[in-house]
Structure 1
Amino acid sequence: MTQAYSPDAPDRDEIDRMSGPVVVEFGTDWCGHCQAAQPLIADAFDDHHSVTRLKIEDGKGRRLGRSFGVKLWPTLIFLRDGEEVSRLVRPRDSAEIKRALNGIDRHGQED
């Protein structure tokens, strides 16, 4: 779960066509808030191996983040079958991430 944010982002249409549970995480590797959130995100994902996680580098000129209305990092967008179910901006604990994951992941464990 420590992989870097990818500078290569899929098109919004591609994300909208994805099936199943997906989390799109926007941020940057140098962002202190993003770095602080990584252990929380990793802990939350422990019981949600069936969820696809996309770590996308965001910033000036990055269209994908703008299409989701991202303003602060990290922002996690929780999708099921291409539809946004919820989002978290600068999560502070793994419990809130787990609740959002439970909302999209039918195979995950309940708290």
Structure 2
Amino acid sequence: MAEEAQVIACHTVQEWNEKFQKAKDSGKLIVIDFTASWCGPCRVITPYVSELAKKFPHVAFFKVDVDDLKDVAEEYKVEAMPSFVILKEGQEVERIVGARKDELLHKIAVHAPITA
């Protein structure tokens, strides 16, 4: 269960495919944080995304470095970082471009409200 309260970082396509499929099969809302090590705003929002993962343990959070996983970034047509793609039942329902904390929180809360 510890994995559920953290951001899952994937560094290889195989790792991405396995962990992403597991999350899709679970039926959870999925938030993909497309980032880059050289991206200043990405570094600023990373701790906030970790906080959200703890606040929304019923949501699967992924961190994808666009330089490590170019194919995944291309598949989701990511053109700027940070970009957040939110998937519900495997389909994209939201996309946020930029380190926009309030919008990210709002979009996650809309699709995966905290019921406790």
1:68-83 matches, cutoff 5 A:
68-83=76-91
2:105 alignment partner, one of 87, 91, 98: 98
Question: What is the TM-score normalised by the length of structure 2?
Answer: 0.72
Name the CA distance, whole Å, in 2 between partners of 1:4 and 1:86: 19
In 2, are the aligned partners of 1:25 and 1:74 still within 8 Å (CA)? yes
Q: Deviations over 1:60-93 (max 9, x none)?
A: 8711111111000111101111011101111233
- Aligned partner of residue 39 in structure 1, secondary structure: helix
- What is the Cα-based RMSD across aligned positions, in Å? 2.8
Q: Which runs of 4 or more aligned residues in structure 1 lie more than 6 Å from their structure 2 counterparts after TM superposition?
A: 1-4
TM-score under structure 1 length normalisation: 0.75
Question: 5+ unaligned residues in a row in structure 2: which ranges?
Answer: none
Q: 1:3 to 1:60 in 2, by over 3 A?
A: closer
Residue 72 of structure 1 aligns to a residue in which SS? coil
Verify the 8 A CA contact 2:96 2:104 in the aligned structure 1: yes
Question: Partners of 1:90 and 1:103 in 2: how far apart?
Answer: 19
Q: Check conservation: 1:34, 1:74, Cα contact below 8 A.
A: yes
Gaps of 5+ in 1: none
Q: Which residues in structure 2 correspond to 1:1-111 (within 5 Å)?
A: 5-9=9-13, 10-11=16-17, 18=24, 19-59=27-67, 62-93=70-101, 95-106=102-113, 108=114
Question: Any conservation in 2 of the 1:23–1:53 contact (CA below 8 Å)?
Answer: yes
Number of matched residues?
104
The one-letter amino acid paired with 1:104 is H
Indicate the SS of the match to 1:97.
helix
